[in-house]
A and B are shown apart, each in its own frame.
Chain A
Amino acid sequence: MKNFFATPLRDEDFKKKNFCYETWIGNCFYAWDCGKAIGRYLEGLKEGKILGVKCPKCERIMVPPRIFCEWCFVLVEDFVELKDTGKINTFSISYISWDMKRLEKPQIPAVIEIDGASPGYGILHLISEVDPKDVKVGMRVKAVWKEEKEREGKITDIKYFRPY
């Protein structure tokens, strides 16, 4: 087992420029079309509602909405208003940002199963107004919305979910 090449460099070498290197900052600016299903979902959020869709064949009620059922592979056009309550399927307490810096106040991301959708159908959102150590799987939560005039048709129109 022979030779194993690769020359390790230390962070220090990099910072002190002990070797030559080139850098570049790319300009990545995107504007995403929201699509039919998510477009309707966002309009719903603006009105303070969480919308799901119901498959005409398997009758699953899915959230986030989509214009097809990936199981039955049929068109899905039946939007259903769900509740703005649900229960925590799983959660984390995040102490770091994407670039591994410590956060001053931890975030609590969670998958929240939304009432009115089929069992197990959840969305990703944040939990707040609770001490992180009191958050539990199965906890009942309710959406805390932005003021109506501040809502813009974004997932952040729901500020977070809180226990209720």
Chain B
Amino acid sequence: MGRRVAIVGAGMTKFVRRAKETGKELAYYAAKAALDSCGAKLKDIDAVVLGSAPDTFDGVHMKGEYLSCGAGAFGKPYLRCYVGGGTGVFSVAVGWYYIASGIFDTCLVVCEEKMSSYQPHPQGAFLTIFDHTTERPLGPNLLWIFALEMQRYMQTYGIKKEEIALVAVKNKKNALDHPAAQIAQEITVEDVLKSEVLCYPVQRLDVSPVSDGACAIVMTNEYLARRFTDKPVWVSGVGWCLDTAYWTNRDLCYPRYVEEAARMAYKMAGIRNPRREIDVVEPYDPFDYKELHHLEGLLLCDRGEAPQLLVDGKTQRDGELPVCPSGGLLGVGNPISAAGLMKVIEIFWQLRGEAGKRQIAKKAKRGLAQAWGDLMQVGTVVILEV
């Protein structure tokens, strides 16, 4: 499976609703923080991978090229990758194959998002996600697809909103311990159920915020890893998969593409029983029900059973399977691509025992980060271990 690949350093900006910094500046702060965290200089980096979501947010043609200097890509082999919300985790898979293939010895992966520029509300940048002839004339908004999927998920398995709301409660609380968090807060199930109904069953507190922010990691091959750190974290599996864009022809109750991506990553990592072998997980949680939906897709519980794990407290930081110890997108924030990489970075810090107040109770040897995107279509998975 190619050469072994390590993550040796990580850095991120604060996630905020509107940053004074430009996209390039955010990318710089994150990239620099990642390099500094492992004593690396830009000259140590062979290639740069950039993850960033639609150009529409920024109103900039070829945003990858525009951001390149801030991402440390001057004069280097450089590629922007983009698979919607799945980008942040996918960019790590790209960095992995750069190094696993032997083409490069080191690589800097930077994910940046500045959603706040789009007026009057960044949601408008997503309208082009709907089919221009068969769907857009109906006047959709982005929340429709989430609301339709959440409804289908709830109806299929008889899941209650009260159960799903516990995800928002847990994640926003976990985020109180994250120094970069945007909307960490202590809330109750009641607060979620009483919050403004946007697109039933989706309510205000079911949803992650609009954010600006950036994250970065430094990846190397196994021979160089210890030159940068005593505690390399190994990328033992990557996986990604795309389902059809004919989304009204699929059963939205289950994310099959996440399962396919997870199976690819588990196979690569030699994992036969993920429920026993994964110690900590950061599934993508732009909406509270997505965390549950994704735990099922990742085969970490049976279909329709994720709410029970949550109700039983098993997904808390001191539980059997801590889920989103970072605070997730619901608490830390959701600058699309950067949010996915934030999840990989959380697993990196958890495995190194560097998560501070967020450190999970059990000793973690192996963790998984997952992201999701587009028309409920993309699954991306990375497995890390020490």
Contact = CB atoms under 8 A, between A and B. Distances in A.
B149 interface: yes
B29 A5 contact: yes
B155 interface: yes
Contact of A38 (B33, B133, B201, B349): B133
Interface in A105-144: 107, 109-111, 120-126, 132, 137
B96 to A, nearest CB: 24
A64 interface: yes
B144 interface: yes
A79 interface: no
Contact of B138 (A8, A137, A155): A155
Given A1-B179, A99-B124, A93 B200 contact: yes
Interface residues of B, number: 63
A107 B173 CA distance: 33
B200 to A, nearest CB: 4
A100 B248 contact: no
A26 to B, nearest CB: 6
B199 A6 contact: no
Contacts of A99: 120-121, 123-124
A4 B199 contact: no
Contact of B59 (A3, A26, A30): A26
B197 A95 contact: yes
Given A6-B15, A111-B148, A124-B135, A92 B200 contact: yes
A38 B139 CA distance: 19
Interface string A16-37: 0001000110100010101000
A96 interface: yes
Contacts of B198: 94-96, 100
B147 A155 contact: no
Nearest to B149: A90
A42 B137 CA distance: 13
B143 interface: yes
Nearest to A24: B59
Given A124-B134, A156-B137, A4 B37 contact: no
A8 B137 contact: no
Residue of B17, B19, B127, B246 contacting most chain A CB atoms (<10 Å): B246
Interface stretch (B6-14, B100-108, B261-269): B6-14
B133 A6 contact: no
B143 A94 contact: yes
A128 B13 CA distance: 46
Chain A contact residues (Cβ within 8 angstroms of B): what range? 35 or more
A2 B356 CA distance: 11
A4 B332 CA distance: 13
B20 A121 contact: no
Nearest to B356: A1
B58 to A, nearest CB: 11
Contacts of A7: 16, 19-21
Contacts of B137: 154-156
A31 to B, nearest CB: 10
B41 interface: no
Nearest to A126: B138
Contacts of B43: none
Contacts of A110: 148
Contacts of B14: 4-6, 8
Interface in B81-120: 119-120
A23 B117 CA distance: 9
Given A66-B246, A92-B144, A109-B140, A1 B21 contact: no
Nearest to B136: A155
B138 A124 contact: yes
B132 interface: yes
B148 A90 contact: yes
A96 to B, nearest CB: 5
A58 interface: no
Contacts of A92: 143-144, 147-148, 151, 199-202
B159 interface: no
Contacts of A1: 179, 349, 354, 356
B299 interface: no
B244 interface: yes
A38 B248 CA distance: 15
A38 to B, nearest CB: 5
Given A2-B11, A98-B123, A111-B152, 7 more contacts: A4-B12, A7-B16, A19-B20, A98-B142, A100-B121, A109-B148, A125-B138
16 contacts: A4-B179, A7-B20, A19-B20, A24-B59, A32-B132, A38-B133, A90-B152, A90-B252, A95-B200, A96-B143, A98-B123, A98-B139, A122-B248, A124-B140, A137-B152, A156-B138
7 smallest beta-carbon distances between A and B, as pairs:
A92-B147, A6-B14, A90-B152, A8-B16, A93-B200, A7-B20, A98-B141
